[in-house]
Structure formats: C-alpha cells, structure tokens
C-alpha cells in the first residue's frame, strides 16, 4: 500500500494545534482549536445535511436526504487537484507566494505582489475578437483542459501522462505545477511538470534579487558598486540576495542604480511607453515604493516597467525579440573613508616613515572594514522575516550573572543558564570561533527563528553586537538524551514507556521540519546530544547550526559533509543528500535508545565494540531482546513492541536511501496505523570513515553536559 498524501486541508493558512476537534453539529462541519475557538466550518448549518462521505476520488461531500451535494471539498481547492476536479473561475490554487487561477485570458500563474506578476500564461486559442470569460479548468485523464463560459467548449489543453495507477496534481511552493503518480514500488514520483517552462522563468528560483543563468544562481554585481548587494546565505545562493544597506525613503538623495543590460525579467507590465533608460530610472527615483525599473525595447518601440517588488532575474540568452535593461535601486552611504588626507604629509618623508604609515593605514582600513561588516550584518538581521526577540549583550550578561553557570559546551560554543527580567529561565548559547560564528548563527536563526512545534526547542531570542553572537532558548531541565541512555547506573535509566514516547517525539519533530514548514529543513546533526528533555520527558530537537533549508519540491541537494561521525548516512560520501540523511540518523538514535549504548564503545570487549554487527547477528536469530538495555526493567512485558522498534531502526538505516521510509511513514508505524516493511536488509555496516572509533575522535562534534543535567541547546 502506498503512503498517503495530503491533497486538501480545511484551513490551509491557519493550522490548528494538538487536541483540536472536528465535529458535525446541526449540519455544520466545524473545526475548533484546543481552546474551543472556531477555526473553520462548512457554513452549512440548517441546510438539512443527511450525511458526510469521502468519495473514491478524494472528494469530501456533504449531502442531503435526496443525496444531492450541499457542500464538497472539490469546490474549495487548496494546492492540489484530483482527477475529475474543476478549478472554477474565481478560485485559486495557492502555495506560499504563488497563485494559479483561470481568468478571461486563460490559465495564469502569478507570484503575489502589488500588482501580481504573471510568470506562466496559457492563453486560449484565438478565434474571435469577442472577449470571452473563462469558466473553469478541469484535471482529467491525460490532460488539463480549460473551458469557456456558455457552451462549455474546449479552448485549450495541456497534455499530461495518462493515469496508470493513482495521480494528483500539486501547485508547489516553488511555483511549479506537477503531477505525481504511485510507481511500482508504492512510492509517489513526479511524472510531469505541467508548465514546461525554463527553470529561470520561475520567480523565486534564485530568491529575491538573485540572477538565474542556466539554472545557477548568483547576485547582481557591478565594478563600481560591488558590495551593494550580497547573498542572503553564502552557503545557499538559491535563497536570494539582499541590499547591503536597505532602501530608505528618508534618505532618497542617496539612491542610485545598478544597471544591467544583459539581464531580463520573467514578467513585464508597461507603465511608461516611448521612453528611454534615463527617464525610466528617473520615474523610479521619484517613486519611493519603486525598487527597480526595467526597459524593454526593440527597433520600433520602448517601454518602461516599475517594480515595487523584485523577484528572481535571469540572464538574457539573446533569443528574445526584445532587448532588456534592468536598473536596481540601491542605497548609497556618504561615510566612505577619506584616504588621501593622511598621505600628503608622507610624500616627502623617509622610506621607513612611509612603511610605518602604510602599516597604520592598512590597520585602520581593516578595522574600518570589520566595523562596516558588523554594522551591515546587524542591519541585515533586523530585516530577516519572523525574527525572535533581540537582546542586548548587557541584558544577557545580567541574565546569566556574567556567564557564571555553564550548562554544557560543544563544537560551536558554550551554553549558560540564565534568568530573564520576566522570570523566564533560559539557556544562552554563546558562539565561539570567528570562522564558524556566522554560518552557525545564521543557519540556526534562519531555521527555527519563525517556526514553533512542541518537539522543537523554542528559540526565544538572539543577540548580535559587533563580534558577539548569542542565542537564547527555552530551558530544558532534564538535559540531553545522551545523559539518560549512556547512563552510569540503572538508577538513571529510563523505563520503556518514556523511551517509546521519546522515539515518537523525535519522529514528530523531524516530520515537522521535513514536511510541515514552508521550506523543507534538513537538520543534519540528529544525535542524542541534540535531543533535549523537559520536565515531563518530552523530547525536543535542538542545535540547528548545521541545518539546511531547501525548497519543498527539491528532491536532493549537494552540500559539504557535516554532522557527527557515527550518525552520518552512507550517501554523505557522494555529497548529494536528501532529508533521508536525517532518517538514517534517527535510526541510529532509536537503536541507541533501545540498547542503552553507542554504536562504537572502545571500553567493551573487541567482539562487542561495534553494535551493528551484533544487531545483524541477533536480528537473524530473532534474539532481539539480548541487545536491549539491561537497566530497562519492563522490556520483557513489551517484547513485541521492542522488536518492532528494532525493525524500525534497521529500516531507517538502510544503506540505499530510497529504501528508507519518510519520517511521516515512521510515525504511522509507531502509532500502529501501518506495519513495518518486511524485506529489511540487516547488513548495516557503515563506511569506516563515517564511524567515530574513539572518544577523542568525536570530541569536537559532541556536546558534553555537566553532571547537573541542566541543559540548553548546543
């Protein structure tokens, strides 16, 4: 049986939390949050609803006593279409910044701005000068058809592969419209990209202000203003670019332009006709909301477009009928250092004095550049959307009593206990090491700064002052998981119910990162040291310093190896990874939770040092319980469930990442909805270069907690 796929949700943009309720009352289907507040309803109260039915086509239908449809989910699409479903005029498929609708022109995809910017139009076939209003687009077997009002005659059609098993069409967060189908292995795979346009025509392919060239991303650069625009994240250019100095209407006298004659744009709305580049730029300068001007010209005409929002640009390949010129508005500063005033007294001096002055001048310039970079980075942080509270360094010095109580330390810094002014107990992570601060700090803030989940450690705030980078998290009183499963005595051991709950909590946290956020977040460092426990032993994922944000529809990513030896999936050797590397690490953690030990322990007898060969041996003999932590007293009473968890661990650690389950499938197995896959390969020997063989070899990667068990994310 193939894995289920969400194709419709009642309230896509306002998700409910745990303990929400759905009830059919007085003919009205009502969704309420845990506090009882109304979130969504079908608004069918009093319409004599006789029943509710989910059809084989995936349509949720409410019907009356005559079996007539009163309400159906097909009339309220979210981001998917199912075979037979109609996208009516006035309805949209929406996904993130993108919208797909049927207009009087045809099928139109646009990115949300003011006004919307169209990047894909599928126009009707010409045949009449009379304006016609479109009524609908229908997803049927083998095509997406667009109809007109009136006689309902077909005007245009987009071919897609015929249905072989089960299909659905999804409008993605990246603006693509894709068709997915279940393959022979019961996995969903993409069978068509409906728009069939060049990758560079998608508005966010390289993020805001990014330039797409043959699918590769870069930032606009000019020899005269080389530092005016920079990458949002140098590790991932697809996240786009930003102005070094944000545009300000209060300093419009310092506005200027970066001009590019070999760059074009996916959309063009003419605001001024028969003009030139200078006049087009001047019109943009006079309009505070204008961020860029685009000139489109040919032999016979020239038009100017003014953009209040800029998405991805693209290199002009010379194949367009029109020529383009893009002018991006930038903010200049009048605080440039004056270098010549110091040089005049030097001209008649000795060579020695010249050298001294050169050293002084160079040092001054380096210090100025450093200060400038710090100011720019701090200003950039103020403009990252969804940022948590910003604290001053002085506030954190007071909160931590001058960083007096250390909770732990790891490869990127130390964690200290703190108490905020409102009485909130926190863990403050102080990042150390100039070469790693920026990447770790930005990765962590960008990853979890604006997301919230019960199984993720909450980022309360941050501090960025000059070279100081600190992160403030909720306090987790039971420390990290490693201190409970690598215990010194059975008095510190966890019982079976807590271990089972922790495994499920970890899976739910990962599922939210992989499938519940606007962008897919791959953690890349799942290990017991990065799993924290609150007072009720709820497990929460922490330490996002290695994390990677990718588009939800991006299947894989190329990146440098990162993480902790012993938890690294085999595909890291090829540098091309998916979210399945987190699933692999999860499998290792599950095995360690069950066995109460690490994959490799130098202190054990030689035949027991490596856990995976033992795991294979016991699995083949069916002697699962021989591996289980001897301090877990209630194991035998739960033998069947323990064996299932062992099998889940092996399933997640399959050498071939395609044979590993998605973490959402793991949750279904853990909750008893699905069964573990049967044909699991227990030959799980990982490459030796990915194993931490000695305690010393992983000391830089692991985070060591002090005996107090007080904790903060590392």
pLDDT tens digits for 186-225?
A: 788 899 999 988 899 999 999 999 999 988 999 988 666 4
Spatial separation of the C-alpha atoms in residues 567 and 342, rounded to whole Å: 56
> For the segment 515-543, what is each residue's pLDDT rounded down to a tens digit?
887 778 899 999 999 999 999 999 999 98
Is residue 547 within 8 Å of residue 447, measured between CB atoms? Answer: yes
Q: pLDDT band for 338, please (50, 70, 90 cuts).
A: very low
The pLDDT value recorded for residue 30 is 92
Q: pLDDT band for 582, please (50, 70, 90 cuts).
A: very high
The pLDDT value recorded for residue 62 is 94
Max CA pair span of the chain: 104
Burial class (CB in 10 A: 0-12, 13-18, 19+), 266: buried
Spatial separation of the C-alpha atoms in residues 227 and 160, rounded to whole Å: 45
Spatial separation of the C-alpha atoms in residues 643 and 418, rounded to whole Å: 42
Spatial separation of the C-alpha atoms in residues 125 and 88, rounded to whole Å: 19
State the average pLDDT over residues 159-166: 89
Note the Cα 413 to chain centre separation in Å.
25
More confident residue, 186 or 260: 260
Note the Cα 243 to chain centre separation in Å.
22
> For the segment 599-614, what is each residue's pLDDT rounded down to a tens digit?
887 778 777 778 888 8
CA 595, 598, 602, 607 torsion: positive or negative? Answer: positive
The pLDDT value recorded for residue 428 is 93
The pLDDT of residue 248 is above 90: no
- Residue 11 makes CB contacts below 8 A (sequence gap 6+) with 31, 39, 40
> For the segment 426-450, what is each residue's pLDDT rounded down to a tens digit?
999 988 754 445 555 666 666 666 6
Spatial separation of the C-alpha atoms in residues 573 and 320, rounded to whole Å: 42
The pLDDT value recorded for residue 384 is 47
> For the segment 56-80, what is each residue's pLDDT rounded down to a tens digit?
889 999 999 999 999 999 999 999 9
Confirm whether residue 508 is marked as ligand binding.
Answer: no
The pLDDT value recorded for residue 301 is 80
Q: Which of 468, 472, 304, 325 is nearest to 389 (CA)?
A: 472
Q: pLDDT band for 412, please (50, 70, 90 cuts).
A: low
Least confident of 5-14, 218-227, 325-334: 218-227
Q: Which of 705, 386, 282 is nearest to 529 (CA)?
A: 705
Q: DSSP state, 101?
A: E
Report how many helices (DSSP H) and strands (DSSP E) the chain contains, helices first: 10, 42
Is residue 311 within 8 Å of residue 328, measured between CB atoms? Answer: no
What share of the chain in percent tops pLDDT 70? 78
Buried-exposed string 185-207: b where 16+ CB fall within 10 A, e elsewhere: eeebeebbebbeeebbbbbbbbb
State the average pLDDT over residues 343-351: 38
State the average pLDDT over residues 238-265: 86
> For the segment 375-399, what is each residue's pLDDT rounded down to a tens digit?
444 444 444 445 578 899 999 999 9
Spatial separation of the C-alpha atoms in residues 393 and 390, rounded to whole Å: 10
- Residue 646 makes CB contacts below 8 A (sequence gap 6+) with 591, 594, 615, 619, 624, 627
Strand order of the β-sheet with 21-25 is 21-25, 28-32, 38-41
Tokens of residue 404, six digits: 């007096």
Q: pLDDT band for 235, please (50, 70, 90 cuts).
A: confident
Strands in 33-97 per DSSP E = 38-41, 51-54, 60-63, 69-72, 80-81, 86-88, 92-95
Determine phi and psi for 549, rounding to 5 degrees. Answer: -95, 125
The pLDDT value recorded for residue 686 is 60
Spatial separation of the C-alpha atoms in residues 614 and 605, rounded to whole Å: 12
Stated as kind and residue range, the H or E segment containing 428 is strand 425-431
Enter the pTM of the model. 0.50
Q: What is the dihedral of CA 499, 505, 507, 510, to 10 degrees?
A: -140
The pLDDT value recorded for residue 175 is 94
> What's the start-to-end Cα distance of the chain, in Å?
40
Q: Which of 618, 571, 561, 566 is nearest to 592 (CA)?
A: 566
> Which residue shows structure tokens 């009830």?
23
The pLDDT of residue 365 is above 50: no
The pLDDT of residue 467 is above 90: no
Is residue 84 within 8 Å of residue 140, measured between CB atoms? Answer: yes
What share of the chain in percent tops pLDDT 90? 34
Question: Residues in the chain, how many?
Answer: 714
The pLDDT value recorded for residue 558 is 62
Determine phi and psi for 145, rounding to 5 degrees. Answer: -105, 140
More confident residue, 267 or 586: 586
Spatial separation of the C-alpha atoms in residues 313 and 540, rounded to whole Å: 40
Secondary structure (H, E, C), 353-398:
HHHHHHHHHHHHHHHHHHHHHHHHHHHHHCCCCCCCEECCHHHHHH
Choosing from 174, 303, 505, 525, the catalytic residue is 525
The pLDDT value recorded for residue 680 is 92
In whole numbers, what is the pLDDT of the chain averaged over residues?
80
Is residue 432 within 8 Å of residue 412, measured between CB atoms? Answer: yes
The pLDDT value recorded for residue 444 is 64
The pLDDT value recorded for residue 147 is 79
Tokens of residue 78, six digits: 């979210």
The pLDDT value recorded for residue 385 is 46
> Which residue shows structure tokens 């323990």?
642
Is 543 among the residues known to form the active site? no
State the average pLDDT over residues 456-467: 87
Spatial separation of the C-alpha atoms in residues 204 and 174, rounded to whole Å: 7
The pLDDT value recorded for residue 714 is 33
Is residue 490 within 8 Å of residue 521, measured between CB atoms? Answer: no
Spatial separation of the C-alpha atoms in residues 219 and 242, rounded to whole Å: 9
The pLDDT value recorded for residue 334 is 63
Is residue 650 within 8 Å of residue 680, measured between CB atoms? Answer: yes
Spatial separation of the C-alpha atoms in residues 702 and 698, rounded to whole Å: 6
Q: pLDDT band for 142, please (50, 70, 90 cuts).
A: confident
């Amino acid at each position: 049986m193939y894995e289920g796929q969400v194709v419709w949700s009642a309230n896509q943009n306002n998700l409910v939390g745990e303990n929400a309720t759905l009830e059919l009352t007085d003919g009205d289907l009502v969704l309420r949050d845990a506090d009882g507040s109304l979130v969504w309803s079908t608004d069918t109260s009093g319409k004599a609803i006789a029943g509710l039915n989910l059809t084989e086509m995936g349509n949720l239908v409410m019907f009356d006593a005559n079996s007539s449809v009163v309400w159906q989910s097909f009339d309220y699409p979210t981001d998917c279409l199912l075979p037979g479903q109609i996208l009516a005029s006035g309805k949209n498929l929406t996904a993130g910044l993108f919208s797909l609708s049927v207009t009087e022109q045809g099928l139109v995809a646009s990115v949300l701005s003011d006004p919307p910017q169209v990047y894909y139009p599928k126009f009707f076939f010409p045949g009449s000068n009379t304006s016609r209003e479109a009524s609908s687009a229908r997803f049927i077997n083998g095509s997406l058809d667009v109809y007109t009002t009136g006689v309902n005659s077909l005007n245009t059609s987009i071919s897609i592969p015929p249905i072989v098993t089960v299909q659905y069409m999804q409008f993605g967060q990246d603006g693509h419209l894709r068709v997915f189908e279940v393959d022979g292995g019961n996995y969903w795979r993409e069978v068509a990209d409906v728009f069939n346009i060049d990758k560079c025509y998608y508005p966010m392919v390289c993020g805001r202000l990014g330039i797409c060239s043959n699918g590769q991303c870069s930032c606009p650069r000019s020899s005269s203003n080389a530092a005016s625009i920079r990458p949002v994240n140098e590790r991932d250019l697809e996240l786009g670019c930003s102005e070094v100095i944000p545009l300000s209407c209060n300093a419009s006298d310092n506005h200027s332009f970066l001009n590019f004659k070999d760059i074009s744009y996916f959309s063009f709305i003419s605001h001024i006709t028969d003009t030139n580049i200078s006049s087009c730029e001047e019109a943009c300068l006079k309009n505070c909301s204008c961020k860029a001007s685009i000139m489109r010209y040919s032999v016979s005409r020239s038009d100017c477009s003014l953009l209040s929002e800029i998405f991805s640009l693209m290199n002009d390949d010379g194949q367009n009928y029109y020529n383009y010129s893009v002018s991006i508005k930038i903010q200049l500063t009048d605080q440039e250092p004056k270098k010549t005033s110091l040089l005049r007294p030097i001209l008649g001096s000795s060579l020695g004095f010249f050298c001294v002055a050169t050293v002084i001048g160079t040092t001054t310039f380096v210090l100025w550049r450093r200060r400038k970079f710090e100011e720019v980075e701090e200003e950039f942080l103020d403009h990252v959307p969804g940022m948590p509270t910003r604290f001053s360094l002085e506030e954190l010095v007071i909160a931590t009593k001058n960083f007096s109580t250390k909770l732990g330390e790891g490869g990127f810094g130390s964690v200290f206990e703190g108490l905020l002014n409102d009485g909130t107990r926190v863990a403050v992570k102080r990042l150390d090491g100039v070469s790693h601060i920026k990447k770790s700090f930005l990765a962590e803030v960008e990853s979890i700064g604006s997301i919230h989940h019960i199984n993720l450690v909450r980022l309360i705030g941050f501090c960025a002052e000059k070279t100081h980078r600190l992160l403030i998290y909720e306090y987790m009183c039971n420390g990290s998981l490693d201190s409970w499963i690598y215990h010194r005595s059975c008095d510190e051991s966890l019982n079976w119910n807590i271990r089972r709950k922790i495994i499920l909590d970890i899976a739910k946290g990962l599922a939210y990162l992989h499938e519940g956020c606007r962008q897919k977040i791959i953690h890349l460092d799942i290990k017991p040291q990065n799993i924290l426990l609150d007072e009720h032993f709820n497990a929460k994922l922490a330490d996002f310093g290695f994390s990677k944000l990718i588009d939800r529809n991006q299947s894989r990513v190329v990146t440098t190896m990162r993480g902790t030896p012993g938890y690294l999936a085999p595909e890291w050797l090829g540098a091309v990874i998916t979210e399945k590397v987190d699933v692999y690490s999860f499998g290792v953690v599950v095995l360690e939770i069950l066995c109460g030990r690490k994959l490799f322990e130098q202190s054990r007898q030689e035949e027991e040092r490596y856990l995976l060969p033992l795991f294979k041996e016991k699995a083949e003999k069916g002697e699962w319980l021989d591996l289980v932590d001897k301090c877990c007293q209630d194991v035998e009473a739960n033998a069947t469930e323990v064996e299932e968890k062992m099998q889940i661990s092996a399933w997640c650690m399959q050498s071939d990442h395609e044979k590993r389950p998605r973490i959402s499938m793991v949750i279904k197995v853990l909750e008893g909805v699905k069964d573990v896959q049967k044909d699991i390969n227990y030959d799980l020997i990982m490459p030796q270069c990915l194993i931490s063989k000695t305690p010393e070899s992983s000391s830089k990667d692991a985070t060591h907690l002090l005996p107090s068990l007080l904790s903060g994310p590392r």
